[in-house]
Amino acid sequence: MVNLIPAPLRAEYFTDMPGFVLDQDTVVDAPSGTEGIARLLRATVGAATGLPLAPGRGDSGPAIRLRIEPDVADELGPEGYRLAVDADAVTLRAAAPAGLHWGVQTLRQLLGPEAHRCAPVNPDRVWTVPSCTVEDRPRFGWRGLMLDVSRHFMPKTDVLRYLDLLAAHKLNVFHFHLTDDQGWRIEIKRYPRLTETGSWRSRTKYGHRASELWDETPYGGYYTQDDIREIVAYAAARHIRVVPEIDIPGHSQATITAYPELGNTDVVDTTALSVWDDWGVTPNVLAPTDGVLRFFEGVFEELLELFPADTSPFIHVGGDECPKDQWKQSPTAQARIKELGLADEDELQSWFIRHFDSWLTARGRRLIGWDEILEGGLAEGAAVSSWRGYAGGVAAAEAGHDVVMCPEQQVYLDHRQDGGPDEPMPIGYVRTLEDVYRFEPVPPGLSEEAARHILGTQANVWTEVMQNRARVDYQVFPRLAAFAEVAWSALPDSEDRDFAGFERRMATHYARLDALGVEYRPPGGPLPWQQRPGILGRPIEGAPPRV
């Protein structure tokens, strides 16, 4: 049994017919417009099998045929594909290269778990694709993962690896959380102190913020502009859009540490601040001044050059967890509220976000922010990442705004996977593999018109207690496989989903994750080296509320 994940729309296997054997004579027939897919085939399937998969015509011998056929979109949409396998050829048809790319991921799974390795491990292996037909398309156009690299930095090579893992699971959005109180992670040439000062903290809390343990090693890192260009190009080759996030006006202590004039200097001595070494929400937020607006316009000007519109049509501005205490005490902020005729500090934040919505719109981009940007009124073209629950997304969709559903109670993968005592630094509610599999991005009761504004869904990974790639792997997998099926596949209602069948397919998928080198949480619980005994977390008991 092939056990494809995510489950395809339709698949039929012909066990009484010979499959297709890949060998030294197999060519890749890649007409104009499919060259990038052929390169990825050689980089993945070619590397794993050790076969050349040379360019060639597919009508004179064994071949993998790549075909762009616009009419496929009539039934399967822009990212759908048709895969047909017989003894003579593997034929992939799609309306666009993205569909071919997702079809290649299915082909890799059909070849077996070893097709996900970087080099052949069995030189005598006969590589056979079972005879079959597969027709497939995604349910949602936005199938994403958000990765926080501010709290704990992920080196460039690890980011590239995660893009490969997203692609292998047919996920197509990488939300790149680049700035926060604990570190600024992207080079901005006109403001060098953002990385010279803002990317480093003197020490780091070990465990939850209530923990008394500290790692006293100075901590930091950032991506150069060439690193960013490489990441964006690597994502684009895998048909993944990158959504960069610069968090404003809250979660900005690292920014203010680098440039103290950006903070509320009439309330606090911002020159005494340092990049935050703890977790949670700091009171230190940006001042609502023209100087701050001009500063971030400069930041976004460089950002738009690094993240081209075809790869990054959306720019995330955060907008979450912005305490208003300093604004309430600040004569400057109060004067700005009066000058603009605003009702309160919530409307002041809305003014701040609306400014950048207009600024980005004028440059052909769309603003997206966490659901707090609804407070005080939302600009017409802005989209919402609904994280505090479903309610913000429902309100935004009913008001005509596009929404990405990512409720904390359902798809925050930093939340613990089990209630047992061995879970490392347990955070939040128990969200098991089955819980994630039964997550439904479109809440019941949403009007048909509003439901059309649900762009899709994403899982979020906040890294306060994830110091390295292995810890991220443990929290993300295997639950990301369940999430990918929710985002891609046409599943029944939540309570009617065949989780037992999914678990059976996961038995094969674990072998794929092993081949990919993913340090996932085993079904039986954490391995000894995955545990973190004695490190305080923040477990929340009971089922999460539906809000």
Which amino acids are annotated catalytic? Answer: 180, 251, 321
Q: Which residues contact 377 (CB under 8 A, 6 or more apart)?
A: 347, 350, 354
Residue 392: burial class (beta carbons within 10 Å; 0-12, 13-18, 19+): buried
Count of CB atoms situated within 10 Å of the CB of 265: 16
H or E element that contains 335? helix 331-340
Write down the residue that tokens 């690299």 correspond to: 149
Phi, psi angles (nearest 5°) of residue 294: -65, -40
Q: Which residues contact 301 (CB under 8 A, 6 or more apart)?
A: none
Q: Cβ(243)–Cβ(360) under 8 Å?
A: no
Does the CA dihedral 16-38-4-2 come out positive or negative? positive
H or E element that contains 420? none
Structure-block tokens of residue 533: 């005994």
- Exposure string of 15-34, with b = 16+ CB inside 10 Å and e = fewer, is eeeebbebeeebbbbbeeeb
Write down the residue that tokens 């092993």 correspond to: 514
Q: 446: left (phi > 0), else alpha (psi -120 to 50), else beta?
A: beta
The C-alpha atoms of residue 141 and residue 62 are separated, in whole angstroms, by 34
The C-alpha atoms of residue 168 and residue 57 are separated, in whole angstroms, by 27
The C-alpha atoms of residue 512 and residue 111 are separated, in whole angstroms, by 11
Q: Cβ(242)–Cβ(365) under 8 Å?
A: no
The C-alpha atoms of residue 501 and residue 480 are separated, in whole angstroms, by 17
The C-alpha atoms of residue 215 and residue 151 are separated, in whole angstroms, by 13
Count of CB atoms situated within 10 Å of the CB of 190: 10
Residue 221: burial class (beta carbons within 10 Å; 0-12, 13-18, 19+): middle
- Crossing angle (nearest 10°) for helices 290-306 and 225-237: 50
Helix/strand/coil for 224: coil
